[in-house]
Amino acid sequence: MARPPLLLIPPSEGKAAGGRPLGRPDSFDAALGASRAVVLSELAQVLGTGGPTQHSSVLGVRGDLLDRALCNSAELVAGTARVLPAWKRYTGVVWASLDPATLSAADRARVLVPSGLYGVTTAADPVADYRLKMLVSLGRLGRLSTFWLPEVTAAIARRAQGRVVVDLLPAEHAHAVDMVALAGSTRVIRAQFISADGRRAVGHEAKSAKGRLARTVLEGGLEAVGKFRFEGWRATMEGDALTVVAPST
CB 87 within 8 A of CB 104: no
Q: Which residues contact 170 (CB under 8 A, 6 or more apart)?
A: 10
What pTM does this model have?
0.95
Nearest to 131 by CA among 214, 25, 39: 39
Tell me the pLDDT band of 203, cut-offs 50, 70 and 90: confident
The alpha carbon of residue 181 and the mean position of all alpha carbons in its chain are separated, in whole angstroms, by 19
Per-residue model confidence (pLDDT) at position 1: 60
- On the question of pLDDT at 198 being above 90, the answer is no
Q: What is the pLDDT of residues 27-84, one digit of tens each?
A: 999 999 999 999 999 999 998 888 888 999 999 888 889 999 999 999 999 999 999 9
Tell me the pLDDT band of 248, cut-offs 50, 70 and 90: confident
How far the first Cα of the chain sits from its last, in Å, is 42
The rounded mean pLDDT for the chain is: 94
